[in-house]
């Protein structure tokens, strides 16, 4: 390899000073930004200002936490219901539920997009080595100006391109992708909470059907005894054939209702199989009627709700995303500064291809400015501003909905608890009425129509009691979901965490 001559040395020094000067300019210009500074939106309703939130929920009057000092949900909230079968099913949701798997894949896509946008902070270096054998046409201008008809060109160039982030376009893009990744993480938690809550709701509905099935079974057995009693009385000439027909009708109607429960239970079982990611044909849950009262749900303070709901966190991150997109749109109004450089070797013979005299280089900045676009950039900017306003309104609506859901289910639990006490008294009264009617019928004092009326009332009240229990359990699940299921804002990945691989 030949040594550099004085001209080469001077040329390299000039190039170095040029590169150093450009680096200083880049460092100064990178501090500019056209995007608005982000501030989290304020919900314009006194009840949802964190600082001015009420000390307690309106519908939680008289509400007590499960244990002293236990003011918020912790960990696996479904364990509050103390049901081993439910716990086992819930453990399978995070692993096998396909909706959660989809949401997790979307989160990974969003994280990858952050890294892709961050790559714009760095220059792009490409290499394109080539060996070209050329035979120009003798009749062309190229062929007439060279002394040989065929030649070989050996080339090894390296090209560098770097967009100087003068107006913050790259920074705004990265900020937008980070906010989008955090919103996607919140969506994943929202989906996870929804799937767990849906499973619990379906499970308690299935257990309510098991309780109804047991109730119908006991009722059918009682009706069979009543029918046999009526038949015996008819044989003895005490009861009429109409009494026997009425008893048979009552029995068969109840059997039909009991059979219909089987269809509802099968469908719920299939829905639970879908939630745990198992084919319905291979999944089953053994019947186990349960009427244990719902647990006391720790509700915490209204001022904490905005930090405990993943959907609220996701909505807020989308406001930050929309704010960053405004910066991207505004940066388009300013010229783009690109620094380009090239270095490599080129020779006609392979022996001298990589020698120093065969080197070549170039470096220099370029500005690109859109002079006229028919209003396209203005339209994109207006679209970004409108998108920001939309995201703010969506965030505020999400916050208001969160408070509504908590109040709705607190009210449901309080009122249903009162209704359950009243219904229990109604069940006991109906059972006493039925017992009296049967005794009177056996003594020949009452008609069988009175017995049927008492039987219908007793069964109806017992079914209503089971329905109220199921509604209370469902309200407990929905309240837990409305409170965020034990999630809090500290679990949302930071900007650094969504950037890392």
Domain boundaries in the chain?
A: 1-30+128-164+336-368, 36-123+166-334+378-499
pLDDT value of position 67: 43
pLDDT at 167: 87
Q: Go through 204-230 and write b for each residue having 16 or more CB atoms within 10 A of its CB, e for each that does not.
A: bbbbbbbbbbbbbeebbebbeebbebb
Instruction: Calculate the dihedral angle through the C-alpha atoms of 28, 30, 35, 41, rounding to the nearest 10 degrees.
Output: -100
Taking the alpha carbons of 250, 252, 256, 262 in that order, is the dihedral positive or negative? positive
Terminal-to-terminal C-alpha distance of the chain = 43
The confidence score (pLDDT) of residue 259 equals 93
**Cα angle 360-364-367, degrees, rounded to a multiple of 5:** 145
DSSP code for 267: H
Pairwise CA distance, residues 160 & 363, whole Å: 9
36-123+166-334+378-499: CATH, from 1.20.1600.10, 1.20.120.350, 3.40.980.10, 1.20.1260.10: 1.20.1600.10
Tokens matching residue 215: 């109730």
Q: Give the pLDDT confidence score for residue 353 in this predicted structure.
A: 83
Strands 124-127 and 130-134: what pairing?
A: unpaired
Residue 300 contacts residue 237 (beta carbons within 8 Å)? no
CATH topology of domain 1-30+128-164+336-368: Outer membrane efflux proteins (OEP) (2.20.200)
Closest CA to 344 of 124, 130, 132: 130
Here the tokens at position 22 are 């450009």
Rounded-to-integer distance, Cα 63 and Cα 412, Å: 12
Residue 61: the pLDDT is: 62
Q: What pLDDT, on a 0 to 100 scale, did the predictor assign at position 66?
A: 39
Distance CA 485, CA 307 (A): 12
Element (H, E) at 387: helix 376-442
Q: State the pLDDT at residue 71.
A: 54
376-442 vs 448-482: helix crossing angle, rounded to 10? 150
Residue 305 pLDDT: 87
The CA-atom distances, in angstroms, between 97 and each of 78, 196, 205, 268 are 17, 10, 20, 16
Q: In a 10 Å sphere around its CB, with 0-12 CB exposed, 13-18 middle and 19+ buried, how is residue 470 labelled?
A: buried
pLDDT of residue 207: 96
- C-alpha 217, offset from chain centre: 42
d(CA 315, CA 179): 10
Residue 31 has a pLDDT of: 52
What are the average pLDDT values for consecutive 10-residue runs of the chain, which has 501 residues?
A: 48 49 49 68 53 59 47 80 94 94 96 94 91 78 62 88 89 94 96 96 96 93 90 86 90 93 95 95 90 86 86 95 93 90 87 85 88 92 94 94 93 95 96 92 86 92 96 96 91 89 73
Query: Residue 153, SS3?
Result: strand
- The Cα 222–Cα 213 span in angstroms is 14
For residue 347, the surrounding DSSP H or E stretch is: strand 336-347
Q: What is the pLDDT at residue 148?
A: 58
Check if the beta carbon of residue 456 is closer than 8 Å to that of residue 223: no
- DSSP for 11-77? HHHHHHHHHHHHHHHHHHHTT---SPPP-PPPPSSGGG-TTT--SS-GGGTT---SSTT--S--S-G
């Amino acid at each position: 390899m030949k040594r550099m001559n004085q001209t080469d040395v001077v040329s390299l020094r000039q190039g170095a000073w040029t590169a150093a000067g450009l680096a200083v300019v880049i460092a100064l210009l990178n501090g500019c930004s056209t995007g608005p500074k982000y501030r989290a939106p304020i919900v314009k309703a006194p009840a949802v200002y964190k600082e001015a939130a009420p000390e307690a929920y309106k519908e939680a009057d008289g509400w007590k936490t499960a244990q002293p000092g236990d003011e918020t949900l912790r960990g696996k909230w479904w364990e509050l219901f103390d049901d081993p079968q439910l716990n086992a099913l819930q453990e399978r949701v995070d692993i096998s539920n396909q909706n959660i798997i989809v949401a997790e894949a979307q989160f990974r896509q969003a994280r990858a997009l952050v890294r892709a946008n961050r790559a714009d902070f760095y220059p792009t270096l490409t290499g394109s080595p080539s060996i070209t054998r050329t035979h120009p046409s003798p009749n062309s201008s190229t062929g007439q100006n060279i002394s040989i008809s065929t030649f070989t060109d050996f080339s090894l160039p390296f090209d560098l391109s770097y967009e100087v982030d003068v107006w913050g376009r790259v920074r705004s893009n990265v900020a937008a992708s980070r906010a989008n990744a955090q919103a996607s993480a919140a969506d994943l938690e929202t989906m996870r909470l929804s799937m767990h809550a849906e499973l619990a709701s379906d499970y308690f509905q299935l257990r309510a059907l098991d309780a109804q099935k047991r109730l119908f079974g006991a009722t059918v057995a009682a009706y069979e005894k009543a029918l046999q009693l009526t038949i015996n009385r008819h044989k003895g000439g005490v009861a009429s054939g109409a009494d026997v027909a009425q008893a048979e009708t009552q029995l068969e109607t109840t059997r039909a209702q009991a059979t219909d429960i089987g269809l509802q239970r099968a469908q719920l079982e299939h829905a639970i199989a879908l939630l745990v990611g198992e084919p319905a044909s291979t999944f089953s849950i053994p019947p186990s009627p349960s009427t244990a009262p719902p647990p006391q749900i720790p509700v915490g303070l209204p001022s904490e709700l905005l930090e405990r709901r993943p959907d609220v966190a996701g909505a807020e991150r989308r406001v930050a995303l929309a704010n960053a997109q405004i910066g991207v749109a505004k940066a388009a109004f300013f010229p783009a500064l690109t620094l380009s450089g090239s270095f490599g070797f080129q020779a006609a013979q392979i022996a001298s291809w990589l020698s120093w005299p065969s080197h070549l280089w170039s470096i220099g900045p370029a500005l690109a400015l859109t002079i006229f676009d028919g209003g396209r950039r203005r339209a994109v900017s207006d679209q970004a501003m409108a998108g920001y306003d939309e995201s703010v309104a969506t965030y505020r609506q999400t916050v208001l909905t969160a408070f509504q859901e908590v109040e709705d289910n607190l009210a449901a639990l309080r009122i249903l608890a009162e209704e359950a006490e009243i219904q229990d008294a109604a069940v006991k009264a109906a059972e006493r009425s039925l017992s009296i009617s049967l005794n009177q019928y056996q003594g020949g004092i009452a008609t069988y129509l009175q017995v049927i009326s008492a039987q219908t009332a007793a069964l109806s009240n017992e079914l209503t009691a089971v329905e109220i229990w199921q509604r209370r359990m469902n309200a407990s699940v929905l309240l837990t979901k409305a409170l965020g299921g034990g999630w809090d804002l500290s679990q949302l990945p930071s900007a650094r965490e969504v950037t890392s691989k």
